Amino acid sequence: MATQTLFITGTDTDAGKSFVSVALLQGLALLGKEVLAFKPIAAGVDDSGLNSDALQLQAASYRQLPYSQVNPILFDEPCAPHLAGSIDLGQLQLWSEKLATLSSDLKLVEGAGGWLLPINNTQYLADWVVANGWPVVLVVGMKLGCLNHAMLTYRELERSGVKVVGWVANQLDATMLRFDDNLADLQQRLTTPFLGLLPYSPNGVSQNDAKALAAKLLDVLKLV
């Protein structure tokens, strides 16, 4: 059976795609799965000249790949990638062909920004995901405005024809008003499996939360 690849998208920049991806990597490792994660496009570098989100994915994967494999396209400026330098779908497709040769139980490909991230004047990162037929996990950054952002993103995912395997609620604001009501509202409106809640945790996800999230994902994917 071919290794399944999942694309991780979010309701916006800073919704917590990397936070959720790392939690999934940690939880899946606890469940004995060998998983690799990638961030093909990143904008913004740390003091090392590399992207901090991509470095987290590299470190949390079951084996360390060279950074250039984890994050092949990197821009120094933390801005929309197509403003920093145009990207062609063919360039991404060549990378995804190399991705297919790597062995693991599962592969996570983290997006940049939100679902409709422009990569040049006419194309979007979503076009590449659709072309590869990758199922998608939606990360909802739980904050004021998340209902609108979640529904706009989910409707566009549905319109594009990709399979949304589930969604994750990532609590960004420890003091968000009516948090439980917002979460319940989204569970009613989003007609795809709810994979779990990652509570506000600036020091990282607990092992129990990571393991529960990963177990739910595996159940949905029928890999257990």
Would you name the residues annotated as active-site residues? 39
Question: 2 — phi, psi (to 5°)?
Answer: -65, 145
Helix (H) or strand (E) holding 222: none
Q: Give the Cα separation of 92 and 178 in Å (integer).
A: 41
What three-state secondary structure class fits 196? strand
Question: Which one-letter DSSP state was computed for residue 102?
Answer: S
* Cross-strand bridge partners of residue 118: 124
What three-state secondary structure class fits 89? helix
Q: Give the Cα separation of 103 and 198 in Å (integer).
A: 29
Q: What are the residues whose beta carbons fall under 8 Å from the beta carbon of 123, sequence distance 6 or more? A: 88, 89
Question: 127 — phi, psi (to 5°)?
Answer: -60, -40
The residue type at 138: L
Q: Give the Cα separation of 28 and 24 in Å (integer).
A: 6
Q: Give the Cα separation of 138 and 217 in Å (integer).
A: 12
Torsion, Cα 19 202 84 127, to 10 degrees, reads 20
